[in-house]
Amino acid sequence: KIIDWLIRAQLLLKMSRVTFFLAISMLDRLILRHYPLNDETHELVAGSLIMTAAKFNEVNPPSPRKLNQLLTCDLYRAPEEFV
């Protein structure tokens, strides 16, 4: 579920694949440290991962406001519904 969310966020925010893979790498590290991931926190964790990865890799990372819009909307709809 988290990876699906990260894929959608990366596509909607038009971020590079490197940013996406960096977020996945950070997710792997969380899982290795037995960080509790559940349905209540997966969007918050995914949002934090993509924001942190974007800060490292993107020239213009998304604003916290834009990320908040993604966190509060249904990211599982088709991407064209967000345009």
Q: How far apart are CA 23 and CA 18, in angstroms?
A: 9
Q: How far apart are CA 4 and CA 42, in angstroms?
A: 11
pLDDT at 20: 92
Please check whether residue 16 is in contact with residue 58, taking contact to mean a CB–CB distance below 8 angstroms: yes
pLDDT at 19: 92
5-14, 15-24, 34-43, 50-59, range with the lowest pLDDT: 34-43
Region 63-67 average pLDDT: 81
Q: Which residues of 45-66 are buried (b: 16+ CB within 10 A; e: fewer)?
A: bbbbbbbebbeebbeebbeeee
82 has pLDDT over 50 = no
| This prediction's pTM | 0.75
pLDDT at 71: 66
